[in-house]
Homo-oligomer: A and B are copies of this chain.
């Protein structure tokens, strides 16, 4: 879905969240928002996410659909040492490649477990990668993330995934970061729907999202304007503020 808008190349990414614990409701996902924010800083847009079970076919379907559709594909979860950790096998199968023990990952794990009871077969599982893959450093727990072509295989535990992203920062080609600014207003969004639609239409390259809230006993909304162009964004913000003021409302720059 790499596409052009206003002659700007948009770099896109997708995420596959792997894990029965998310689908059972046991664990509240935190990787979607974390990855989205990190991608914004890299100038890459998160365009779609799928959450799938610990199931070979479900993982393979999602990976094979999304890896060809986007510049980058990320996965989180399922790279630990136990029987329910099948991400590497599922992705290798999806790509039609074998699974090998990566020599450097093995060395890292052997070293890590010297003072932690020694290496064993389960721990060695975490050195397995799709053939041809590189490692993504993990300074916390030894077991590395994995990069294979445009696929980035990250841990499910958010703070471990965060460290893997940290080590990838600045290494992926992206475009202009999507920037955003917010205007808040103590107004039901349904009273200013026309203003929002007309303002968005008047500023090519901006999207305006409307996020209502109830707070302190009354309703209001934050309007988030997004663009890759700071000048366009500023013009849109100024215009929206003026239109809201003109309608008798009091816009609050940077939101409520």
Contacts and interface: CB of A to CB of B under 8 A. Distances in A.
Contact of A188 (B83, B116, B211): B116
Give the number of times this chain occurs in the complex, counting copies. 2
Instruction: Give the interface SS of chain A, mostly helix, strand, loop or mixed.
Output: mixed
B40 A117 contact: no
Question: Which of the four size classes fits the interface of chain A?
Answer: 35 or more
Interface stretch (A22-30, A163-171, A228-236, A245-253): A22-30
A142 to B, nearest CB: 10
A40 B24 CA distance: 7
A39 to B, nearest CB: 8
30 contacts: A21-B209, A22-B33, A23-B36, A23-B47, A23-B48, A24-B226, A25-B36, A26-B180, A27-B33, A27-B211, A28-B30, A28-B33, A29-B33, A47-B53, A47-B58, A48-B53, A48-B58, A50-B51, A54-B209, A80-B212, A82-B193, A82-B196, A83-B193, A83-B200, A83-B208, A84-B207, A120-B190, A120-B191, A121-B193, A121-B194
